[in-house]
Amino acid sequence: MKDSGDIAGTGIPFAAGVAAGAFLAAFMSHIPVQLPLFLGIIIPLLLTITYLKADSRHPKRGAFAALFLLTGVFCSINASITSGISLPKGPLSSLALTEGEKLKRLIDSIPYPCDSTGPLVKALLTGDRSGLGKDIRDIFRDSGASHILALSGLHLGILYLILSNVTAPMGNSPRARRIRFLMNICAAGFYALMTGASPSIVRAFLFISIGETARLLDRSHSTTGTLLAALTIQLALNPEVIGSLGFQLSYLAIAGIALLYHPLAGIYPAAKGIRGRMDPMRRIWEGAVLSISCQVFTAPLVWYRFHTFPKFFIITNLTALPLTSAVMVLSVTTTALTSFGICPEIIVLLNDKVVQLLVDCLRIISSL
């Protein structure tokens, strides 16, 4: 697609420039090389190489890509120079963090029958894993489900779907769609701030915001184009985040989905009509392909950093992801009703049972 090609011509060079800038900053912090002299040599070289490799039909594309490459280098080095400067938090961030603490206390007050349910719900909704016992952590790690405990696009995506369904009764008129869009995006952004705005949550928020904005404006968009646009914006706002493992895994996982999911999912032919949508075997195949697409891109980095590989990742994801979605929907419902003081005991018990079902399934997988 033309849009994807255009954003690839800016996003990829910019990301490469940020990575190169981070390397140069680390390199120069140990070896006394004057920055102006070093850049005076490397910049013309990069500009020349990129320009010469440009498509002959678009002679200016190489120079344009080189411009974004050099902009990335500048942003990255500038961020490393100013990294020691601490800026005060804005009022919105302070308010969000305060509300986040209130949310944690609210979850702690819910009378779940099982002692491990509350800490696990708090980890899934707020990212605070301090209350989890070692046994629960080991179960998630050994089963290859550690990513479920780390707030990511999975969690924000589920919460955004809940928000979309809650605001659905407002209608689909142009005005209602704009109001719903603003409400949902603002709520998702505030939640990202509440939970500390980790790199993976920021990526998910940008991904959702860009996709929903395009949908609201009736503009065509692709997963790849949205991913690269989010990558460019996030690196422009905070170039140092490129060294974060959460950032790297988050973008690698989505890149795997964007590049591999549809070709692999197409291997299983879909029947037309409602029969194709309800085919249970195709649902299982799509879930397995989704897991494979993510693992192909993230597994090398995970192995490099932790020297481990989840052997049963397909079984884990096919089992845990649907249960995690159910847990989060029930947990949000339980927490919201508790905040109003009207939560029935049956909802609390059901929430507790589904959480423990998730733990039991992962315990069985971890013992294989």
Q: Give residue 66's pLDDT band: very low, low, confident or very high (50, 70, 90).
A: confident
In this structure, of 46-60, 85-99, 255-269, the range with the lowest mean pLDDT score is: 46-60
Using the predicted structure, report yes or no on whether residue 52 has a pLDDT greater than 50: no
Q: Where are the beta strands (DSSP E) in 47-148?
A: none
Own/partner pairs for 286-292, CB < 8 Å, 24+ apart? Answer: 287/317, 287/318, 287/321, 288/314, 288/317, 288/318, 289/260, 289/261, 289/264, 289/265, 290/257, 290/261, 290/317, 291/317, 291/318, 292/260, 292/264
Q: Is the dihedral of CA 304, 306, 310, 314 positive or negative?
A: negative
The pTM (predicted TM-score) of the whole model is 0.84
175, 224 in Cβ contact below 8 A?
Answer: no
CB atoms closer than 10 angstroms to residue 240:
18
Most confident of 7-11, 64-68, 316-320: 316-320
Q: In whole angstroms, what is the distance from residue 208 CA to residue 212 CA?
A: 6
DSSP assigned state of 54: S
Distances in Å between the Cα of 103 and the Cα atoms of 41, 100, 195 are 53, 5, 10
**pLDDT number for residue 356:** 95
Q: What pLDDT score does 37 carry?
A: 45
> Which two tokens mark 268?
């299983």
Hey, what are 163's tokens? 């928000």
Instruction: Give CA–CA dist 17/64, Å, rounded.
Output: 13
**8 Å CB contact between 125 and 107:** yes
At 88 the pLDDT is 62
Q: Which residue has the higher pLDDT, 156 or 30?
A: 156
The CA distance from 221 to 216, in Å, is: 11
Instruction: Give the chain's radius of gyration (CA, Å).
Output: 23
Q: Please, what is the average pLDDT of the chain?
A: 83
pLDDT tens, 280-312? 788 888 888 998 999 999 888 888 888 888 888
| Residue 291 burial (CB count, 10 A) | 20
Give me the amino acid identity at 88.
P
pLDDT tens-digit profile of 142-156? 888 888 888 888 889
Residue 352 has a pLDDT of 96
**Token duo for residue 74:** 């500048």
pLDDT tens-digit series, residues 208-230? 999 888 888 888 778 888 888 99
The H helix count followed by the E strand count for the chain is: 17, 0
- Cβ 320 vs Cβ 361: under 8 Å: yes
More confident residue, 169 or 59: 169
- pLDDT given at position 19: 82
- Position 272 confidence tier, pLDDT thresholds 50, 70, 90: low
Q: How far apart are CA 138 and CA 115, in angstroms?
A: 17
Region 308-329 average pLDDT: 89
Residue 217 or 190, more confident: 190
Q: Identify the sign of the CA torsion 234, 240, 243, 246.
A: negative
pLDDT score recorded for residue 365: 92
What is the arithmetic mean of pLDDT over 256-284?
A: 78
What average pLDDT does this structure show over 84-95? 72
User: How sure is the predictor about 363, in pLDDT bands with cuts at 50, 70 and 90?
Assistant: very high
Structure tokens at 286: 């799509």
User: What is the tens place of the pLDDT at every residue in 341-362?
Assistant: 999 999 999 999 999 999 999 9
Residue 49 has pLDDT above 60, yes or no: no
Q: Measuring CA to CA, how many Å separate 92 from each of 73, 138, 209?
A: 31, 36, 19
In the predicted model, is pLDDT for residue 2 greater than 60? Answer: no
